[in-house]
Amino acid sequence: MLQVGDQAPDFDVLDHHGNHVKLSDLRGKRVVLWFYPKADTPGCTAEGCSFRDLNAEYKNKNAQILGVSFDTQAENAAFAEKFGFTFPLLCDTDRKIGLAYGAAESEKDEYARRIAYVIGEDGKIEQAHPKVDARTYPAEQLKSL
């Protein structure tokens, strides 16, 4: 895992809509980068729905939510549509983001670890969470911003 104070590795990846999302384009905002194992599974759904329900409050704190999994664009698009997610789900199918951030150990990992980061407006890691509770993390994270 990356440590607090580390420069967050930049990435340029497609989201569930097919849009390019580049971390460096989000400078000036805080980014909550949450890795989830698999789209449309119970824990990932609970976590995603909590982020969805709190998204306006995150925006009020100048924070952008980005979900990351190894799922395809089609899988993440179906997940986002089914649950009405209004934030990007990043499709890290080659595991490059997962490897850079410690959510994967190899390109062969089937699922991302359930970890999270807060990246500051300057692009540096503000918080690193090596394990999060899918049901409570979104609300707990919001309180600490």
Is 44 marked active-site?
A: yes
Work out the angle between the directed axes of helices 73-83 and 42-60 (0-180°, nearest 10): 70
Tell me whether residue 28 is exposed, middle or buried, using C-beta atoms within 10 angstroms of its C-beta: 0 to 12, 13 to 18, 19 or more: exposed
Q: What is residue 98's DSSP assignment?
A: H
pLDDT of residue 116: 98
Could you identify the residue written with the tokens 């909550």? 32
Helix (H, G, I), strand (E, B) or coil at 104: coil
Q: In a structure prediction context, what are the per-residue pLDDT tens digits for the chain, which is 145 residues long?
A: 999 999 999 999 999 999 999 999 999 999 999 999 999 999 999 999 999 999 999 999 999 999 999 999 999 999 999 999 999 999 999 999 999 999 999 999 999 999 999 999 999 999 999 999 999 999 999 999 9
CB neighbours of 1 closer than 8 A, spacing ≥ 6? 101, 102, 115, 128, 130
Could you identify the residue written with the tokens 């400078």? 27
| Catalytic residue (one of 23, 32, 44, 112) | 44
**Which domains are seen in the chain, by residue range?**
12-144 (3.40.30.10)
User: Residue 60 is which amino acid?
Assistant: N
pLDDT of residue 135: 95
- Structure token pair of residue 76: 């993440």
Q: State how far the alpha carbon of 29 is from the alpha carbons of 9, 112, 145, in Å.
A: 16, 24, 12
Residues in the chain: 145
- Asked whether the beta carbons of 17 and 78 are under 8 A apart, the reply is no
